[in-house]
Every structure is written in structure tokens, then in C-alpha cells.
Amino acid sequence: MGTDQRWDAIIFGELSFPDGGLDSWQQEVAPRLARLAAFDAAADEELLRVVFAPRAVAIRAWLLSASFQEFCQSIESLCSAAARAGGRGDMVFAGIGEGPAYRLEVGDGRTLVTRIAAPGWNHPVVQEVALSVEIKHERRLAERLASPQTNAPALAADSQTSGQ
């Protein structure tokens, strides 16, 4: 997948592992996972979630163009490491709107990239990711509005105008 194009993107997929595979994968990719988690924690209008189950991992992302350029290769590397750890599954990288779409298949110790038809807006996982981004953004906005530090200038302005 070339990262030279400028598309916002949705990334989603699941990888399953044999016994012990997930643990060895997590140890190998721990710094990358920490970087992805830090990005997700700091981003208000983007999503980059890695969710763990006992023998599987799911990735859900909505990335703006610059972030996609930054993280696409990291996610591809996570998939390559998963293949080495016996992981199986796939990850879809889809440009939002008119962007291209690719499926990165993981299995048999390797990864294979194929171009696919882009999943439409009605695709259930696309809807899941879009809703997750919206909820995250609204929650962050509510947290900022509820914060005394964030509201101090607004409250001061309100108190000055309410006395007039």
C-alpha cells in the first residue's frame, strides 16, 4: 500500500493467534502499541484503537490524512509481526470517499496485500468506526466544557455580562 496519496482513512480488522502467539506478538510490538495508544489518547477527532481478547486483537481506526501517513506503515508492521507469531486474519485500509481500499491478509507466516472495492458507508464496521469517532469527539468536548480550567474564561465573561 502506498502512503504517497493523501486520503483520510478507515482501518479495521481482526487477527487471531494460536496459543502463546498473542503474548509473543505483544512483547515484540509493545513500543508500537504504546505509540498507537498515546496517539489515540491525544487525538480528539481521530480514532486508533487496539482491542484485545484472550487470543485475538482488533484494530479500529479513523485517521486524517497526515495521521494515516504517519501510522499506516506501523499498522502494516503490526500485521507482519502477527504473521510471524502465527496470527491469521485481515486488515482493511480504505480511503474515505473516493480513496482506494486494500486488504492486508495475514496468515501462513506472511502478509499479502490486494486491492479491493472500498467498503461503503453502510458497511457495519465502517458505521461502527464512524460512530466511535463521533462519540469520542463528543465525550472529549463535554469533558473540556466541564473542566473548570477550560470554563474559567467563559465563566468570567458570563459573570461580567450577567451583572449588566
pLDDT of residue 159 exceeding 50 = no
The answer to whether residue 94 sits within a structural domain is yes
The structural domain count of the chain equals 1
Q: For residue 30, how far is the Cα from the chain centroid?
A: 16
The answer to whether residue 3 sits within a structural domain is no
The answer to whether residue 126 sits within a structural domain is yes
The answer to whether residue 28 sits within a structural domain is yes
pLDDT of residue 44 exceeding 70 = yes
For β-strands 110-116 and 101-107, DSSP reports them as antiparallel
The answer to whether residue 119 sits within a structural domain is yes
The C-alpha atoms of residue 162 and residue 164 are separated, in whole angstroms, by 5
pLDDT of residue 5: 58
pLDDT of residue 150: 54
Residue of 158 and 145 predicted with greater confidence: 145
Residue 154: pLDDT band with limits 50, 70, 90? very low
Mean pLDDT of the chain: 87
Q: Which domain holds residue 16?
A: 9-158
Residue 155: pLDDT band with limits 50, 70, 90? very low
Q: Count the alpha carbons within 13 Å of 20 in the hemisphere toward its beta carbon.
A: 1
The answer to whether residue 2 sits within a structural domain is no
**Beta strand extents in the chain (DSSP E only):** 9-16, 47-53, 56-63, 88-95, 101-107, 110-116
CB 57 within 8 A of CB 64: no
The answer to whether residue 56 sits within a structural domain is yes
pLDDT of residue 6 exceeding 70 = no
Query: pLDDT tens digit string along 77-125?
Result: 999 999 999 999 999 999 887 789 999 999 999 999 999 998 888 889 9
The answer to whether residue 163 sits within a structural domain is no
CB 87 within 8 A of CB 15: yes
